[in-house]
Structure 1
Amino acid sequence: MASFEQVAAGFWHPEIEHLRLPPLTDELVVDTERQIGVTLPLDLLHLLRIQNGGVIADTWDAYPADTNFYANNHVPFEHLYGVGPAGQAATMTLLDTPYLVLEWELPSPVVLLSGQGHYWVGLDYRDCGPQGEPSVVWIDNEMNHELPLVPDFRAFVEHLTASGAFPE
């Protein structure tokens, strides 16, 4: 297990621009939290201040997990949505969460960090409330299955590993 600081230092894929947004500002954070109605974890904001969304480095693109529809031993975490305007065809952002929750009939309140419709990794505010420290959950929309991953975002990041480390 790596420290949060170790992961943060090489978290983003350096060569892929996909999902990358303009730099995060304090004003964007305030506006986003107001629009989605929750306080975002400071560690998430730290990563988004390094780079506002994008593809995650291969070293950190999976989270070890119990058997699920995706794999027997992990879930993917190949990208992280940044903070920017919702509804842009070119990229998803954290602000697309309210629409996606309705569209895919997902539990609420959650903030979707990564995913593609059939499965998601999200911050789960159902137990902690909008100002609390959310847990991280895997939501498999295809199989109508939720898999609690870890109690907080920092622990999630510290357990990330390379998807290539898992046998197929």
Structure 2
Amino acid sequence: MKFDEIKASFWSRDTYGVQPALTQATVADAEKVLGLRLPESLLGLLYVQNGGGVTADRDAFPTSQPTSWSEDHIPFTELMGIGTGEHGLSLLDTPYLVEEWKLPSPVVLLSGDGHYWIGLDYRSCSALGEPSVTWFDTDSGADLPLAADFRAFVEGLQPLSRFE
């Protein structure tokens, strides 16, 4: 399924973690705080809904090797939006979380729980480049590249039920 088709049905109906509606000013402020340009594909989803739970049709990503989570996939049940702490974790919490969990940098964390994080990985591109998406396992210290970019990551998401 192509990204534009996915965009319309990406989010679950759950409102937990949903930040206030995204504005261009909020995006500009976030990019300034993070020191990076966020991918257009990510912003496209966040303009539809600024973070929260993803639909059960798209809550896992297949992996080419085992992780601490599973032999063949990782969870992706939510995507952080851009906002303040009153609505749950936000992409703006990345600098604190990177330091707290001793993660590589520069990255922007998209989802996770401390034992693992899924993030935009800017280590092999410039701050203005198109980051890949990587799984960061804080328990083992390993990281696993998942997709060349955020659009490819979203297009590769599958139902968790497929793996059970």
TM-score (normalizing by structure 1): 0.95
Deviations 1:94-149 (A, max 9, x none): 00000000000000000000001010100000010110000000001011110001
Aligned ranges for residues 1-168 of structure 1 at < 5 Å? 2-14=1-13, 16-65=14-63, 66-85=65-84, 88=85, 90-167=87-164
Pick closer, same or farther for the CA change 1:45–1:90 going to 2, 3 Å: closer
Structure 1 runs (4+) greater than 2 angstroms displaced: none
Give the SS at the match of 1:22: coil
Alpha-carbon contact 2:146-2:153 (below 8 Å) kept: yes
Stretches of structure 2 that go unaligned for 5 or more consecutive residues are none
TM-score (normalizing by structure 2): 0.97
Alpha-carbon contact 1:7-1:60 (below 8 Å) kept: no
The amino acid of 2:12's aligned partner reads H
Give the drift of 1:90.
Answer: 4.6
Stretches of structure 1 that go unaligned for 5 or more consecutive residues are none
Report the aligned-residue RMSD.
0.9
Q: Among the aligned pairs, what percent are the same residue?
A: 48
Distance (whole Å) between structure 2 residues aligned to residue 92 and residue 129 of structure 1: 25
Alpha-carbon contact 1:52-1:82 (below 8 Å) kept: yes
Give the SS at the match of 2:134: strand
The amino acid of 1:23's aligned partner reads A
Alpha-carbon contact 1:137-1:148 (below 8 Å) kept: yes
